[in-house]
Each structure stands twice: as C-alpha cells, then as structure tokens.
Amino acid sequence: MTDTPTSVPTFSAAATTWFEDHKRYIKPNTADSYGDALKPLCKFLGDKPINEIQNAHIRMYQEMRKARAGAHAINREVGVLQQIMREFGEWRRLEDRYKLLKEPPHRAGHSLSSEEEQRLREVAFTKPKWRLAGHCMMVMLSTTMGFGELRQLRRCDVDMERGCVSVREGAKNAFRERTIPLNSAARESMTWILERWRKLGGCDPEHYILPHRPRRERASHWRKTIPWILDEPMLTIYRAFRSIREAADLPDFRVYDCRVQAITKLLSDPKVSPQVSKEIAGHISQRMQDRYSIQQFSTKKAALDGLEAPAPTPTEPKGRVLAFPGRGTARA
C-alpha cells in the first residue's frame, strides 16, 4: 500500500494554522501586531504553496511594501513570515540569503515644549467628538502609559479609591507590569472614562474600560444599531488624535509620543530619582532610559550654560593634623 502524499498548504492556510495555534501563548497586543502583519503578507503570498516561496518573493514583497510602509514595519512583517516558514520546516533553505532592510537610526518619538504641550491639552477639548481622545491623551501624559496599555485596562485594573491603575495585560514584558498612582489630571480624565464605560453598559470587573465597537457602515443610522463589545478593547484613537494634533499645529506628534513626553518630563526632573522613574514607566535598562529621554534643546542649553564659568578652586579642608608613622601627616 502506497502512502498518499500530504498536500502542501498555501501560505494563507499555513498562516491561519500557525496564528490560531500560536496566539494562545502570546499577549493580546502581540497577537494584534501579528494579525496586522499577516494582512499584507497574505494578500501578496496567499495562494502560493509554502514550499514554493523563495528569497526572490521576499525581495519583491519588500519592494512592494516600501510604497506604504517603512523599513522597520516591513522587517517586522517578514519576521512573522519567518516564524510561519519555520513552523513548516521551510525557512532553513532561505535564511542564508535573506537580508533585512536597513533601518535608519531613530529614537522613540517627539517631546514637546511646555507651551506646545499646553496648546495640545487645550485644543483636545474644543470639540465634543475629540473628547474621548482628549481624556485618553490626558491619562497617557499623566501616567507614562502608552495607548496599547491604556486600551487593555479592565475595570478591575482601576482602583479609584486608592487612586491608581495596574498595568498588566497590555504590558510588553514583565518589567512593564506596574501599578501607577493617578495625579489629579489623570484622576479627572479616568473618572470621565469610567462614567462613559458605565453608560455604555459596563458592569463586569472584567470588561474593558475602552470597549470596542465594530465599524460596519459609515451611515449614522447604521452606526446607532451596532452594539458595543465590552469584552473586547477598542482599537485606536488615531483619527481623533490626528485632528487634535493638526489643530494644535503639531503634525509630527504621535499618539505614542504622549508616553515619550511623560517619560521625558520624569527624567528631566532632578527631584525624581532614576529608580522612581523606572517603577513608574517600567524601564529595565539605561539604554531604555536613553531611548525615551528626549531632552528639550532649552534643557540642554541651560546645562551647558553652567560650563561657561571656571570651576571653583578647591579649598584645603580644615582640621587637626594627624601623624602616621612612615606616611607623613594628614588632616582630620
């Protein structure tokens, strides 16, 4: 009796099998990132049998994606392709000739001057349709949370009696899992977010405080009939935030830069110790601190202005003269 040859899956079928099995071992935000990477990959490689994928196809994919994405995003997407190919034993034949796209050096984002930040805060609440994005922004600017962490907060993670939030589900790693106190600005915006959650039907401690609502139709009368999904987090505030930053004349400021701004202010404050900064922001190394601490030009200028004057001449300390046999004298 002859063995029936096993059919080779297409890339789309292999990707679906891999993703369904793999996502049980990873955090939800990582699964979301993988899901986003699979969309363009499946569109380009979907019908091709996985054993027929060659380095030439990867190079074609890289060139095609350059029109819509940067090198970092493309390398991340091909990284997901690598994992799928390894799962089916097909990557070894490609890895020796595969080349990453060269990524330009970059830092974590942009920080703002105090005047720019004040303008951003004021503009965010000038229109009702920006209010949710504005309150999310205020929480991020006041806590060092990124939006990925904020949107993954469940009601049980927010303790308004103690005035703190516990970041767990949206954290990238164990060092980003932390408890953050809420200052007055963060408490005010969190109160608004929780009241909105309650009005949307939130009642379970496991419900997300920023629930998801599918966007099936653009028409407003269809939109009103679509229910909120309280056990799924919302996806993004990008549209509203883009309008806010444009109105504030800050076109390069991203949603994630709210975290950068908060961390930069923490690390610029001499009254805040490095250890406290780490515990609030979830840093794990000096390299990470350097990545996020984008100091303002004026801060650097003030520090260098202090170098203009000559250093003070050290004075001889006063005290009793002590004699040490064979070692001369010293002052006490």
CATH number at residue 179: 1.10.443.10
The parent domain of residue 219 ranges over 114-295
Residue in the block written with tokens 């767990």? 168
Q: What is the pLDDT of residues 35-51, one digit of tens each?
A: 999 999 999 999 999 99
* % residues pLDDT > 70 (the chain): 82
Are 148 and 287 found together in one domain? Answer: yes
Taking all residues of the chain, what is their mean pLDDT, rounded to a whole number?
Answer: 85
Are 43 and 158 found together in one domain? Answer: no
pLDDT of residue 191: 98
Are 266 and 211 found together in one domain? Answer: yes
Whether residue 109 lies inside any domain: the answer is no
Residue 174 and residue 92: Cα distance in Å, rounded?
Answer: 32
Q: How confident is the model at residue 76 (pLDDT cuts 50, 70, 90)?
A: very high
Q: How confident is the model at residue 328 (pLDDT cuts 50, 70, 90)?
A: low
pLDDT of residue 33: 86
Mean pLDDT of 190-213: 96
Whether residue 243 lies inside any domain: the answer is yes
Are 135 and 34 found together in one domain? Answer: no
Whether residue 3 lies inside any domain: the answer is no
The Cβ-side half-sphere exposure at 146, using a 13 Å CA radius, reads: 17
Are 128 and 253 found together in one domain? Answer: yes
pLDDT of residue 25: 87
Q: Minimum mean pLDDT among 31-45, 46-60, 224-238: which range?
A: 224-238
Residue 95 and residue 102: Cα distance in Å, rounded?
Answer: 17
Q: Is the CA virtual torsion 25, 28, 31, 35 positive or negative? A: positive
Q: Residue type for 212, please?
A: H
- The encoded tokens of residue 195 equal 């009241």
Alpha helices in 164-314 (DSSP H): 184-199, 220-223, 238-247, 257-268, 274-281, 286-292, 297-305
Q: Is the pLDDT reported for residue 174 higher than 90?
A: no
pLDDT of residue 170: 64
- Decide: helix, strand or coil at residue 126: coil
Question: Other CB atoms closer than 10 Å to residue 218's CB: what's the count?
Answer: 7
Geometric angle at alpha carbon 179, from 176 and 182, rounded to 5°: 120
